[in-house]
């Protein structure tokens, strides 16, 4: 009888031999490793070639061939975006075969023409990926949508149609309200000869400008005149605001600007419903800038008061105090699509963005100037300004039905009656 402490028998050793790879599996593994190494080397070579080409282009630009380099980069941009679209579709098909892709409502990839594929840069196709920066439980898939092409870098600059624009806000007494209003009117009045980017590019630009800076946003998506204006405004005024606030402000101002340019945009491209014009806005002529204020009661108040002037100091305080309720982190505001390298707003951020309750003032400094309801300010100031208006004001009945009155005044702002 064998001892219990003796060497293992053949029966015990047979279990370990089962774990060894069979010749067929070893061969498959070697092939898989070889293909992976080849792909890695190919990517490395392509990246080195890309760096060499970029260095050559920059060298030519420094030598005085800027125009030729700009044209060449515009062509390469189109080619790169086309390749991204093809790669996105290939990845989608590959992932779909193993059940990791999100459902798509678009037509079959094999039935598309080469022209459709080359234009695929306009489609934000999202793929599920373990490395994507997405909130837990959120897939980040977006259905393809066609929109006008992104303008190239040689498009007309904003400086050509408004050479004297100055939206740098300090603490002076200059009329910042009038300067910004004139800039908006200029863009809206000269939009016919310009191309404007579509919704996916707009969202990516809003997010990328806050996360990575305006230079990175412009490098990814060449700016139309509307985005040139928003960059100047953000760098001149809203750099004082928080990151989440800046992202929300850029998104809502871009949506409002595009709605002004084209009132017949689909609902998903328009700003939230609380930005719809009130009866007073539709009946009374007023500065264009008023339409961009978030709160309907503030827009009505500015119109009734005839306000068309605000100093830089008050504009700066407005940028500091405006708040956006967001209980999550900055990275939770968006998702990232690794197949296209494009950011998109998260579902949670969009829901907060579309609610007026998300907007408020962080301190009582601005709240004492604006007729906001208590839940939108830090001071509990009552929304009661309508009751003190003279009877000579011809207001829509919908506005007069509010049984409130306000005793305050907007300090530091002059109405048109006093100018």
Tens-digit pLDDT profile for residues 270-291: 999 999 999 999 999 999 999 9
pLDDT at 243: 96
In which element (H, E) is residue 245 found?
A: helix 243-261
For residue 144, pLDDT over 50 is answered with no
- Find, among 305, 343, 351, 358, the residue nearest to 134 by Cα: 343
pLDDT at 123: 35
Percent of the chain with pLDDT over 90: 35
DSSP state letter for 290: G
Using pLDDT thresholds of 50, 70 and 90, give the confidence band for residue 371: low
- Find, among 369, 227, 239, 203, the residue nearest to 295 by Cα: 369
Q: Mean pLDDT across the stretch 60-73? A: 67
What the block records as the tokens of 118 is 């080359």
- Find, among 284, 287, 253, the residue nearest to 270 by Cα: 253
For residue 99, pLDDT over 90 is answered with no
Residue 308 near residue 51, CB atoms below 8 Å: no
Using pLDDT thresholds of 50, 70 and 90, give the confidence band for residue 65: low
pLDDT at 255: 96
For residue 372, pLDDT over 60 is answered with no
Residue 57 near residue 69, CB atoms below 8 Å: yes
For residue 375, pLDDT over 60 is answered with no
Of how many residues is the chain composed? 419
Q: Average pLDDT of the chain?
A: 73
For residue 177, pLDDT over 60 is answered with yes
C-alpha span between 419 and 417 (Å, rounded): 6
Distances (CA, A) of 205 to 81, 243, 328, 363: 16, 14, 21, 29
- Find, among 144, 158, 49, the residue nearest to 105 by Cα: 144
In which element (H, E) is residue 324 found?
A: strand 322-324
Using pLDDT thresholds of 50, 70 and 90, give the confidence band for residue 84: confident
């Amino acid at each position: 009888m064998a001892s219990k402490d003796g060497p293992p028998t053949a029966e015990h050793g047979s279990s370990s031999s089962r774990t060894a790879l069979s010749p067929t599996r070893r061969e498959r593994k070697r092939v898989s490793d070889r293909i992976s190494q080849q792909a890695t080397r190919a990517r490395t070579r392509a990246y080195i070639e890309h760096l060499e080409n970029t260095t050559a282009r920059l060298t030519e630009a420094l030598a005085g061939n800027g125009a030729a380099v700009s044209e060449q980069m515009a062509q390469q941009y189109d080619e790169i975006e086309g390749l991204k679209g093809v790669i996105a579709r290939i990845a989608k098909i590959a992932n779909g075969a193993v059940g990791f892709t999100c459902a798509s409502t678009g037509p079959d990839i094999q039935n598309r023409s080469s022209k459709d594929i080359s234009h695929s840069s306009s489609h934000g196709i999202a793929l599920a990926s373990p490395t994507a920066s997405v909130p837990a439980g959120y897939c980040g898939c977006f259905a393809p949508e066609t929109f006008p092409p992104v303008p190239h870098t040689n498009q007309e600059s904003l400086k050509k149609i408004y050479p004297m624009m100055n939206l740098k806000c300090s603490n002076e007494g200059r009329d910042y309200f009038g300067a910004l209003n004139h800039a908006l009117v200029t863009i809206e009045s000269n939009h016919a000869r310009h191309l404007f980017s579509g919704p996916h590019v707009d969202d990516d630009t809003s997010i990328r400008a806050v996360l990575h800076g305006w230079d990175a946003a412009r490098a990814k998506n060449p700016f139309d005149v509307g985005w040139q204006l928003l960059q100047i405004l953000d760098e001149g005024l809203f750099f004082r605001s928080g990151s989440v606030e800046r992202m929300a402000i850029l998104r809502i101002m871009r949506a409002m600007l595009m709605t002004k340019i084209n009132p017949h945009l689909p609902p998903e491209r328009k700003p939230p419903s609380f930005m719809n014009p009130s009866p007073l806005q539709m009946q009374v002529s007023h500065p264009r800038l008023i339409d961009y204020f978030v709160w309907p009661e503030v827009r009505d108040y500015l119109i009734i008061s005839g306000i068309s002037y605000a100093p830089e100091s008050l504009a700066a305080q407005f940028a500091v105090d405006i708040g956006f309720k967001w209980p999550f982190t900055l990275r939770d505001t968006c998702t990232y699509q690794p197949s296209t390298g494009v950011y998109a707003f998260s579902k949670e951020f969009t829901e907060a963005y579309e609610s007026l309750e998300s907007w408020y003032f962080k301190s009582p400094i601005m709240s004492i100037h604006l007729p906001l309801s208590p839940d939108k300010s830090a001071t509990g100031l009552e929304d009661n300004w309508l009751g003190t208006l003279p009877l000579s004001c011809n207001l829509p009945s919908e506005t007069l039905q509010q049984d409130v009155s306000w005793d305050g005044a907007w300090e530091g702002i002059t109405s048109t009656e006093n100018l």
